[in-house]
Amino acid sequence: MAIKGVLFDFSGTLFRIESTESWLRAVLAEADVTLSEAELVRTAEQLEAAGALAGGALPEDPLPDDLAALWAVRDCSAEAHRAAYTALSRRVPLPAARLHDALYDRHMTPAAWRPYPDTAEVLGALRERGVAVGVVSNIGWDLRPVFRAHGVDPYVDAYVLSYEHGVQKPDTRLFAMACDALGVAPQDTLMVGDSRPADGGAADLGCAVHFVDHRPVAERPDALRPVLGLIG
């Protein structure tokens, strides 16, 4: 069977969010707020433990019932996504209340994201081979500017984002929308992602699935390249 279309997850697959410390430093600098180095490092550690950075670590502690319910559907709308992550951020004391929204806003900027070293290479090779490419992401905001800013948008034929459809992975409806957008049958499609619970849902639709590890950019130079060997 020849693969005619490849669907990619975004965070942890094609791109990686900056570190929690880098995220906090950027927001404090923009807001002209100063913390001592020790305070900054401690606050970054607390934010990471809280799971406040979307695309970063998951919350370490059990969430209260109301926040747990919001967390479960956070990727179904822009409003739920912002509410969930700013609620997590607010579990950590910050020097000014406005910083919680500023942190959320920062994570949506292209500067907060880096493509993996082989992202452009693999997407470009798929385009050269005539393989359709889609991005299927559980997310609460428009990631297209990130792809444009990093020069890889020309390689993507369709974006299917959970918040735009009110459906999040592993629901097979999201993968079906992506296959339809590419004009490729699920049986001729490969889904590439870092989450077995979420991205593995594509297998229930009949797609082949390939997983990569969600690791820092410097630690994962070529995990996407094997995808090219899976294209018959």
- CA–CA distance, 125 with 156 (Å, rounded to integer): 12
CB 169 within 8 A of CB 162: yes
| pTM for this model (two decimals) | 0.96
Tell which residue, 141, 20, 147, 150, has the closest CA to residue 80: 141
pLDDT digits (tens, 9 = 90+) for 99-144: 999 999 999 999 999 999 999 999 999 999 999 999 999 999 999 9
CATH assignment of 5-16+113-229, among 2.40.30.10, 3.40.50.300, 3.40.50.1000, 3.30.1330.60? 3.40.50.1000
Tell which residue, 218, 160, 147, 227, has the closest CA to residue 194: 227
Residue with structure tokens 């490849």?
Answer: 6
CB 20 within 8 A of CB 203: no
User: What pLDDT is attached to residue 176?
Assistant: 98
- Tokens found for residue 141: 């905001």
User: What pLDDT is attached to residue 1?
Assistant: 61
* Phi, psi dihedral angles at 61 (to 5 degrees): -100, 155
Cα 165 vs. chain centroid, distance in angstroms? 16
- CA–CA distance, 188 with 148 (Å, rounded to integer): 27
pLDDT digits (tens, 9 = 90+) for 31-63: 999 999 999 999 999 999 999 999 999 999 999
Domain assignments of the chain as residue spans, ordered by start: 5-16+113-229, 17-111
User: What pLDDT is attached to residue 232?
Assistant: 74
**Helix 37-50 crosses helix 78-89 at what angle (to 10 degrees)?**
130
- Tokens found for residue 95: 């020097």
